[in-house]
A and B are shown apart, each in its own frame.
Chain A
Amino acid sequence: MNGDTLIRVEKLQKHYNGGVIKALDGINTEIKKGEVVVVIGPSGSGKSTFLRCLNLLEVPTGGNIFFEGVDITDEKVNINIHRQKMGMVFQHFNLFPHMTILKNMIIAPMKLRKKSEAEATELAMKLLRRVGLEDRANAYPSQLSGGQKQRIAIVRALCMEPEVMLFDEPTSALDPEMVGEVLEVMKQLAHDNMTMVVVTHEMGFAREVGSRVMFMAEGRQVEEGTPEEIFDHPKSERLQTFLAKVL
Chain B
Amino acid sequence: MSTLSISGLNVHFSTEAGSLHALKDVTFDVPERRIVGIVGESGCGKSTLINAILGLLSDNGEVRSGQILFEGDQDLARLSRGQMQDLRGPRIATVFQDPMGALNPVLSVGRQMINIQYRSPQSRAAKAARAVEMLKLVRIPDAESALGRYPHQFSGGMKQRIAIAMALMMEPALLIADEPTTALDATLEVTTIELLKDLQATIGCSVMFISHHLGVIAELCDDVVVMYAGEVVERGTVRDVFRAPAHPYTRRLLECDPARQSRRTRVLPTIPGEIPDLRQRPRGCVFAPRCLERHAGCDTPQVEHALAGDHRARCNLAPARSPAAVPP
Chain A partners chain B: no
Residues of chain A having any CB pair with chain B under 8 Å:
none
